[in-house]
Amino acid sequence: MSLYIGTNYHPHDWPEERWTTDIRLMKEAGFTTVRLGHLCWDSYEPEEGVYTFAWFDKVMDLFAEAKIDVLLDVSMRPAPVWVHRLCPGCDIFGKSGTKQESLRRYMEDIADPAYQHYALRFARKLVERYKNHPALFAFGLCNEIGDGFLSNSEYAKRRFSEWLKKKYGTIDSLNRAWAARRWSRKLLSFEDAVIQENELAIGAPEAWLDMRRFFSDGIGEFMVKLKKTVEECAPGIPHSSNHYAEKDNLGFDYLKYCDSFVDYPGIGFYPGYTTGDKYQFISSVYMQRLAEQGKPMWCLEFQSGSKGVMSGPAGALYMQAMLCLLNRTEMILGWTWRSMLGGEEQYLFGLLGHDGIPTANYYEYQKIARAMKKLEKYGFPYLPDPDIAVAYDYESAWVSQYSSAQYRQSYKQNMIEVQKAFYESNRDYNVVDLRNLKKDYRLLMIPGHIVMNPESAATVRRYVEQGGTVVMTGSSAAVDENGQVFGTPRPGYLDDVFGIRIAGFCRTDMEWTFSQGAELRKTENGEVREVLTIINNESGQERKIDSAYYEELELKGAEAYACFKDKRSCAVTRNCYGKGKAFYVAAESDKELFIWLLDQLTDELGLRKGLPVPEGIQARVIAGNQRFYVNTTNHDVVIPLEQGGHGVLKEIDCNEKLVLKAYDSELIISQ
């Protein structure tokens, strides 16, 4: 199989006589692939119905001559000025209902039918023109869809009313779902429903959650329409997308729609220059994009420089690229080729400087290209079949965002803690949607899954009944599908499966609640958390975790699997249900807690173990006799080897140990 390395290029930004120079430099860097076409709809269609493709024909021909494959983005954002003029419903309207001029990118409501008419018409024109071009390798489904703004327009309000009517059928059903009896908020008709944010306030949690679902569906359904348009015009040609489903300000429910529009999962990968929480967050997003699709990741954008940062520490980009290969990546395209002279990203530094001369980033990408050329002859792209699943729920992210006084650990941080645990354990996992679980797993983890709907609960119940093992953490199954707190014992819909009742909870992040002599830890953002000790009641094994929240668990058939040592209360319960087991953890998500649980359950469930390596080393068994090691630290690390072998990247033989320099990597092939 092949690995793809290259860059993002904007030929419309540069004189035609510069194109051949840039393509020559790409060839010298060892690039195989280039992404073109994004963010420039009006370079192809400057006026409604007027197309100017001749200039881009030359660009495509030049890349064909150079034998560099083109991933052609179907550019529909930002919308040209003439689209805004023709489609007033495309405009963003602020919280006061006032039209906001399109001052910069992503200021359009892509769910507007009139906008979609012109956008999909352009998509058909572009795809039809280039689908048979010899340079064409794949299509991109626009750029960073999901980023942008909620629109409080009259057009959006009318669509929201229709969306609610379709979902609820009767106004009585809507009023019950929205708890509209509270504070005299009953609606008399669907036309009374409004967008749930204005200048002064946001709506009740149930109504606000439905508003987020409405905007999510508008984006998700457009992605499906775009995918169908591309595939109808160019059947069999691969496609991907670097959407922004996880954006707090807009975003969409990716797992709900990914089966309907994803060919190859895609991402814009910007982790900064550390392996701290920022890296772990983008890695958690990365895992969500992979989901259960069984295909490798396409990094349609990959960090080069950064905003206001010319380049990172020497070797850091190379190390991050190797980490992505270790985590199922097939394609790496640097953002961006040349630092832009003008516009919003003029100080986001690329592989070439503003003067068009290669920077340190260029030479690091050249090194990445050489490594990928060697590695593609072996077990890459790496596509494991994980035995552990982690459930993700974007609706829980919305609820935690709304009710942050209750859910003080954000859902984003919840997933960061999960990712850090698997990262440090050198284990693979799949992110799954409980509404549509596809594969079999030995262990299903449900961390901080605040919203529990009947479909997801039925999945969990069936999974455990049939012999699966599930682990659910604190704050889970707190509200139902309408966003209302369960009036039945929690975890909602699943209290019998877990054999418990959540009787209450304690906060440890308020000064007057700290235990006498408590050990405290301050996080990167200044939050104070109490360090707690969990002890396994059977093995006596202990683990320190830190938490700002833990629940009081009442046993209703379950047994106490572990306790909080100093508080003498139940920390983890275990319940036999059907043929399987259901564990419930009283604390919120924590890296150390997850590592401890994985250690406790690995032998019992026959889970695959991560390779034993020194701290700071990431490693995977890529194939039976292939072990890939990445040093994420800024110093040399000695790695003991159980089996010696040949180092592919440095072309050296290693017997008992491998010495990796700072940010370096190696693939060892054992005999």
68-113 tens-digit pLDDT: 999 999 999 999 999 999 999 999 999 999 999 999 889 999 999 9
C-alpha to C-alpha distance for 472 and 572, rounded to whole angstroms: 10
> Is 259 found in the same domain as 140?
yes
> Is 635 found in the same domain as 596?
no
C-alpha to C-alpha distance for 592 and 373, rounded to whole angstroms: 38
C-alpha to C-alpha distance for 164 and 174, rounded to whole angstroms: 8
* 538 within domain boundaries: yes
Task: For residue range 634-670, list pLDDT tens digits in order.
Answer: 999 999 998 889 999 999 999 999 999 999 999 999 9
Q: What pLDDT shows up at residue 572?
A: 97
* 185 within domain boundaries: no
* 101 within domain boundaries: no
* 328 within domain boundaries: yes
Q: What pLDDT shows up at residue 662?
A: 97
Could you give the residue ranges of the DSSP H alpha helices within 131-186? 154-168, 171-177
C-alpha to C-alpha distance for 561 and 575, rounded to whole angstroms: 9
| Residue 514, pLDDT above cutoff 70 | no
* CA pseudo-torsion sign 322, 427, 281, 314: negative
> Is 364 found in the same domain as 294?
yes
> Is 636 found in the same domain as 498?
no
| Residue 516, pLDDT above cutoff 70 | no
| Residue 515, pLDDT above cutoff 70 | no
Read out DSSP for 521-565? EE-TTS-EEEEEEEEETTT--EEEEEESEEEEEEESS-EEEEEET
Host H or E run for residue 17: helix 16-28
Band (520; pLDDT cuts 50, 70, 90): confident
Helices 277-290, 411-425: crossing angle, 10 deg rounding: 90
- Lowest-pLDDT choice from 207-221, 368-382, 527-541: 527-541
Range(s) of the domain holding residue 405: 388-605
Task: For residue range 198-219, list pLDDT tens digits in order.
Answer: 999 999 999 999 999 999 999 9
Q: How many CB atoms lie within 10 A of CB 312?
A: 21
> Is 452 found in the same domain as 425?
yes
CATH code for the domain of 431: 3.40.50.880
> Is 458 found in the same domain as 342?
no
> Is 649 found in the same domain as 539?
no
| Residue 524, pLDDT above cutoff 70 | no
Q: What pLDDT shows up at residue 625?
A: 94
> Is 270 found in the same domain as 221?
yes
Tally the domains of the chain. 3
C-alpha to C-alpha distance for 35 and 242, rounded to whole angstroms: 12
Q: Which of 375, 406, 430 is the C-terminal boundary of a domain?
A: 375
Band (48; pLDDT cuts 50, 70, 90): very high
Task: Please tell me the pTM assigned to this model.
Answer: 0.96
Q: What pLDDT shows up at residue 528?
A: 77
Give phi and psi for 600, each to the nearest 5.
Answer: -65, -35
DSSP class of residue 150 equals -
> Is 518 found in the same domain as 399?
yes
| Residue 456, pLDDT above cutoff 90 | yes
Could you give the residue ranges of the DSSP H alpha helices within 347-410? 360-375, 394-402
C-alpha to C-alpha distance for 120 and 233, rounded to whole angstroms: 11
Is residue 347 within 8 A of residue 308, CB to CB? The reply is: yes
Task: For residue range 564-592, list pLDDT tens digits in order.
Answer: 987 778 999 999 999 999 999 999 999 99
* 557 within domain boundaries: yes
Q: In the chain, what percentage of residues exceed pLDDT 70?
A: 99
CATH code for the domain of 639: 2.60.40.1180
> Is 600 found in the same domain as 622?
no
* 157 within domain boundaries: no
CATH code for the domain of 337: 3.20.20.80
| Residue 342, pLDDT above cutoff 90 | yes
| Residue 325, pLDDT above cutoff 70 | yes
Q: What pLDDT shows up at residue 567?
A: 73
Report the DSSP beta bridge partners of residue 137.
none
> Is 69 found in the same domain as 32?
yes
Task: For residue range 584-623, list pLDDT tens digits in order.
Answer: 999 999 999 999 999 999 999 999 999 999 999 999 999 9
How far is the CA of 422 from the CAs of 386, 551, 598, in angstroms?
12, 24, 9
Band (513; pLDDT cuts 50, 70, 90): low
Task: For residue range 11-24, list pLDDT tens digits in order.
Answer: 999 999 999 999 99
* 442 within domain boundaries: yes
Q: What pLDDT shows up at residue 7?
A: 98
> Is 504 found in the same domain as 599?
yes
C-alpha to C-alpha distance for 434 and 457, rounded to whole angstroms: 8
Q: Which of 319, 350, 375 is the C-terminal boundary of a domain?
A: 375
Band (177; pLDDT cuts 50, 70, 90): very high
Q: Which of 549, 574, 605 is the C-terminal boundary of a domain?
A: 605
* 193 within domain boundaries: no
